[in-house]
Amino acid sequence: MTSSDADDGPPQAREDQPLLRAPEEDAWKPPRGFAWIQVAIMSNVFLYGFDGTITAATYAVISSEFDAANTASWLTTSYLVTSTAFQPLYGRVSDIFGRRICFFISTITFALGCLGCGVAGDIVLLNCMRALTGFGGGGLMTMGTLTAMSRLSDFTDNVKRPS
């Protein structure tokens, strides 16, 4: 076997060497404002999960306040159906218009839906606002995941990897 034969293929893994090596300490530096971006993403994903969970636990109490026990299940159903339906759409629309604008739209829509739920005077308006909250909530989860993954891949593309 000549030295040119050894250079042709990818390096072979050996059992006495680890498959992954620790990156150099100076290889990656977070950009300015990275911590705030991460806090915003994490808080939005938390709010998405918290909203669906807390409403599911309290929908009987909420529906009894409106004297509408027969429509109690629609409080969680309207949120979860719209959230699930719009998650893949946010992914496609973010490919067209960009992740930042879709992230802001989902955050604002979620906030407006929550505000509408707080001021709703009847059960029909409350269910409609829950659906609007689900529209925004689907984007919170999708855009949070897509933004975090695309940011991390953008940052790690510049890391020097061992050959």
For the chain (length 163 residues), average pLDDT per consecutive 10? 54 70 68 84 88 82 86 87 93 89 93 94 93 93 80 57 52
Nearest to 111 by CA among 36, 26, 44: 44
Which DSSP letter does residue 141 get? H
pLDDT the model gives residue 33: 84
pLDDT the model gives residue 129: 95
pLDDT the model gives residue 136: 94
pLDDT the model gives residue 49: 84
Q: Which residues contact 136 (CB under 8 A, 6 or more apart)?
A: 105, 106, 107, 108, 109, 110, 111, 112, 113
pLDDT the model gives residue 119: 95
pLDDT the model gives residue 143: 87
3 state SS of 14: coil
pTM for this structure? Answer: 0.73
